[in-house]
Each structure stands twice: as structure tokens, then as C-alpha cells.
Amino acid sequence: MNPETQSIVELCAYVGGGIAMGLGAIGAAIGEGYTASEANVAVARDPENSGNIFKNMLVGQAVAESSSIFALVIAILLLFLDVEMAGILKAAALLGAGLCMGLGAIGSGIGSGFPGGQTCFGIARQPEAAPALTTNMLIGSAVCQTPAIFAMVVALMLMFMDFGQSAVNPTWAALIGAGVSTGLAAIGSGYGGGKAAGASCAGVARNPTSVGNVTTTMLVGQAVSQTPSIFGLLVSFILIFKTFPETTALAPSMALLAAGLCTGFGGIGPGIGNGLVAEGAVRWVARNTSAAGDLMRIMLVGQAVSQSTAIYAMVVSLVLIFVI
């Protein structure tokens, strides 16, 4: 293999590592800042419970941190990966892996901050509900991490799979597209899931007896909010595993890159929108538990409609992959 290819592979690995950690640091920092700011408000309101609030702040921040730790792991792997004897496709895959993990950590990091912050504030408001709040916070923020975990899975696949047999020309775009698809789509789902989890912690603090209904509504709402990131993951898998015929033209490559961009960008809005719906439903389940059934129904209808544009985007991506 010629030394020039080796340099390109290393270049992509280093750029990918920088992108992974640089973008990956955005979300967790914002989320943890939100948690800490709410904790400050909470301590000002109820200084006697400052110990308990401080403990929950740290636990909430630790969970929010995980998405940026995923990014750190991927960045370090990219920097020290042994890429000898790799072809030019490996370069595209490594760049895709960096983009995927960097973009994918943004939403989950921001989202996980909301339940932590609302829990701190809730403890100041209703100290006896603290154990229920901590449990609810941990469940909610763990689910928020799912999109970042999807991104890490795709990044690891791109880094460690062997693409040596594939045709270089369209496959390079498919690999970058695969990274961008899961990475971008994870932004909305992570943020949206966090909105739902934050509202549920606020709701438990407002009305501790509603905790069962609130947690159930939160989990259903978060599950639906994850759908756009699952669409992104699906398109990534198709782009990684499908074999594309060799070509010398530019158009087939661009079609595959566009497929990744389309599902990725298309997932951002519906992910955020679904999270807003779940936030509204969870908040009002806590205030008016007797209407929980009606609220769950309207939440699911609203989320289904909000989902439609993500489905359009996925359809356009599938057309770009399979028809064009």
C-alpha cells in the first residue's frame, strides 16, 4: 500500500477524533450547567436540604456526563487506532465514526441535564419525595442516553469492520452517510427524551402520589421520542451492510451521502417535537391524574403526527439508496 493512502487514513482518524470530542463536549456541558443552575436555585430556596440537593446534583451530572465520556472513548480510540494496511475506505469510515459520535452526544448530554435539574429543584420544594425523585431521575436520564449509545455502536462498527472488499467509489459516501445519519438523528431524540424526563421529575415533586402514572407516561413518551434516532440507526445499518456496485460517476456516491443527511436532519425536528408533546402530557398527568388516560391517548396521537416528517425523510433516504 502506498504511503499516501496511509497518510489519508491517519488524517481522517485524527480529524474524526477531534470532531468526536469537540462536538461531543457540547451537550453534556450544557446539560450539567442546567442541573447545577437549578441546584443553586434549590439551595437558595431550601438551604437546610443542601446536602441532599448537592448529592442529587452530582448523581444527575454524572449520568449526563456519560455521553461525553462515550465521545472521549471514541476520540481516544481514533487517535491510537492501529490503521496499518488499511485502504482508502477505512479513512471514510473513521471520519464517519468521528462525526457520528460527536453529533450523537449533543442531544443526550443536553437532555440528561433536565431531569437532574428538576430533581434538585423538586427536593427543595418537597423534601420527603426525594427518594422517588432520585429513582425517577435515574430512569429518565438513563433512557436519554439511548441515542448516544446508538451513535457509539455505529461509530465502533465503522471503526472496526473490514470494508476491504467493497467498491471504493460509492462506498466511501455510504460510510460517511452512515455516520451522519445516526449522529444527527440522535440530537432530537436525546433532547426530546430529556424534556419528558425533566417534566416527570417536576411532576413527582408537585404531586408525589402521581408517581406511578407520571413514570409510565414518561417512559411511553420517551420511547416514542426515540423513534427518529432508530430510523437514523436503521438507515446507517443499511448503508454499512449493503454492497454497492462499482461506479466511476459522482451521482451514486452523492445519493448515498444524501440518504444519510436526509434521515439525520429529518430526525432532529420530530425528536424534539415528540419530546415537547411528552413533556406537556407528563406535566398534566401530574396535575390532573384522573385525566391520565385521555392525556396518554392525545400524547400518542400528537406524537404520531409529529413523527410523520421523519417518516418522509426516511422514505426519501430509502428511495435514494434502493431506487436511484
Partner 1 sequence: MDISGPDLVKAAAFLGAGISMGLGAIGPGVGEGMVAAKACEAIGKNPGEAGLLTRTMLVGQAVSESTGIYSLVIALLLLFVV
4 is a site residue for partner 1 (CB under 8 A): no
Closest distance between partner 1 and the C-beta of residue 272, in Å?
A: 5
Cell of 21: 470530542
- Which of 80, 164, 294, 322 lies at the binding interface for partner 1 (CB under 8 A)? 294
103 is a site residue for partner 1 (CB under 8 A): no
**Per-residue contact flags (x/-) with partner 1 for residues 227 to 256, judged by CB under 8 A:** -x-------------------xxxx-xxx-
291 is a site residue for partner 1 (CB under 8 A): yes
Q: Specify the residue, 61 or 307, whose C-beta has the smaller distance to partner 1.
A: 307
Nearest CA among 95, 98, 139 for reference residue 116: 139
Q: Specify the residue, 35 or 306, whose C-beta has the smaller distance to partner 1.
A: 306
What contacts 312, CB < 8 A, 6 or more positions away? 266
Closest distance between partner 1 and the C-beta of residue 147, in Å?
A: 15
28 is a site residue for partner 1 (CB under 8 A): no
281 is a site residue for partner 1 (CB under 8 A): yes
Its sign, for the CA torsion 83, 20, 195, 182, is negative
Q: What distances in angstroms separate CA 99 from CA 82, 188, 193, 200, 206, one per listed residue?
A: 19, 16, 22, 32, 40
Nearest CA among 186, 183, 49 for reference residue 120: 49
Its sign, for the CA torsion 177, 24, 135, 270, is negative
Query: Which residue reads 419530546 in cell numbers?
Result: 275
Cell of 268: 432532529
Total of residues contacting partner 1 (CB under 8 A): 64
Closest distance between partner 1 and the C-beta of residue 115, in Å?
A: 17
Closest distance between partner 1 and the C-beta of residue 59, in Å?
A: 28
Q: Specify the residue, 42 or 180, whose C-beta has the smaller distance to partner 1.
A: 180
